[in-house]
């Protein structure tokens, strides 16, 4: 990948003010977000509990941006149809709870969504090596999933670099996304390591001006080491 390759910023609505979710979505779109990241948590795969199809549907009505849905749930296949119907653009499932990745990724494409796999910080990158042809997105978790506002795990940089090499080896067009602890400084290193798509929650919503922050995050990704 070289300079000029498109960088995507995918703000996570997990850090939004839910009392005014519609306004927050409009603000993110106006601020230049490329995608919106929607964190679905079931209180079982991860300790936290968030939301489901109803919120995806609500967000869908307020924006035409692609909805990047991250499923931190057991048995994610139970939700593919509902979430696709609610307006999800991509569905990303966790390798740790997806013993039939080949079948599950095929099914995500069948329901009309981009098929993604997320890997926890302790999961070997090779977990997706044999399904690369079915993969539209690879998500490297740079925190242990469950909560916004956690600290970036630095070992993730080497994992991003290895993931990029693995995708390049088969000329995969898959998006390489990173999620967790992304801010003005960590985004630069992730970009240099080979990521092209960046989830950010706390960095955007805790900023004095969230719209400016989206632009600032994107501007960090202009130079390669
Ligand atoms: C964490 C979620 C993330 C989270 C990122 O489990 O998957 O998408 O919202 O939040 P920040 O950017 O605050 O680390
Ligand atoms: Zn996420």
Asked whether the beta carbons of 7 and 221 are under 8 A apart, the reply is yes
Q: Ligand 1 center to residue 133 CA distance, Å?
A: 27
Give nearest CA residue, ligand 1 atom 7. 145
Mean pLDDT of the region 118-127: 98
pLDDT tens, position by position, 46-102 = 999 999 999 999 999 999 999 999 999 999 999 999 999 999 999 999 999 999 999
Atom 9 (ligand 1): residue with closest C-alpha? 148
Confidence label for 5 from pLDDT (cuts 50, 70 and 90)? low
DSSP code at position 55 = H
- pLDDT at residue 222 in the model: 82
Q: Is 18 within 8 Å of 55 (Cβ atoms)?
A: no
| Contact criterion met (CB below 8 Å) for 102 and 69 | no
pLDDT tens-digit series, residues 202-214: 999 999 999 999 9
Give the ligand 1 atom nearest the CA of 183: 12
Ligand 2 is an ion; residues with CB less than 5 A from it:
39, 70, 179
Does any ligand 1 atom lie closer than 6 A to the CB of residue 200? yes
> Is 179 in the active site?
yes
Q: Stretch 1-13: mean pLDDT, rounded? A: 78
pTM: 0.97
Calpha distance 218→197 (Å, rounded): 10
Q: Per the residue annotation, which of 34, 42, 68, 179 is the catalytic one?
A: 179
Sign of CA dihedral 10, 15, 18, 23: negative
Q: Confirm if 143 and 150 have CB atoms less than 8 A apart.
A: yes
Tell me the CA–centroid distance for residue 167 and ligand 1, in Å: 24
**Local confidence band at 2 (pLDDT 50, 70, 90 cut-offs):** very low
What is the CA(175)–ligand 2 centre distance, in A?
A: 15
């Amino acid at each position: 990948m070289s300079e000029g390759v498109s960088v995507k910023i995918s703000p996570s609505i997990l850090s939004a003010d839910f009392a005014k979710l519609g306004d927050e979505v409009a603000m993110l779109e106006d601020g230049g977000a490329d995608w919106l990241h929607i964190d679905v948590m079931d209180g079982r795969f991860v300790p936290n509990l968030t939301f489901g199809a109803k919120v995806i549907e609500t967000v869908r009505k307020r924006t035409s941006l692609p909805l990047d849905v991250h499923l931190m749930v057991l048995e994610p296949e139970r939700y593919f149809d509902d979430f696709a119907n609610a307006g999800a653009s991509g569905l990303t499932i966790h390798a740790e709870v997806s013993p039939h990745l080949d079948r599950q990724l095929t099914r995500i494409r069948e329901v009309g969504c981009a098929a993604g796999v997320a890997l926890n910080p302790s999961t070997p990158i090779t977990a997706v090596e044999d399904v690369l042809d079915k993969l539209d997105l690879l998500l490297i978790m740079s925190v242990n999933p469950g909560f916004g506002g956690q600290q970036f795990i630095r070992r993730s940089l080497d994992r991003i670099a290895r993931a990029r090499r693995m995708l390049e080896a088969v000329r995969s067009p898959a998006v390489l996304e990173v999620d967790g602890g992304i801010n003005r400084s960590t985004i630069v290193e992730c970009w240099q390591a080979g990521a092209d798509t960046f989830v950010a929650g706390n960095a955007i919503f805790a900023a004095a001006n969230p719209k400016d922050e989206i632009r600032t995050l994107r501007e960090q990704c202009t130079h390669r080491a």
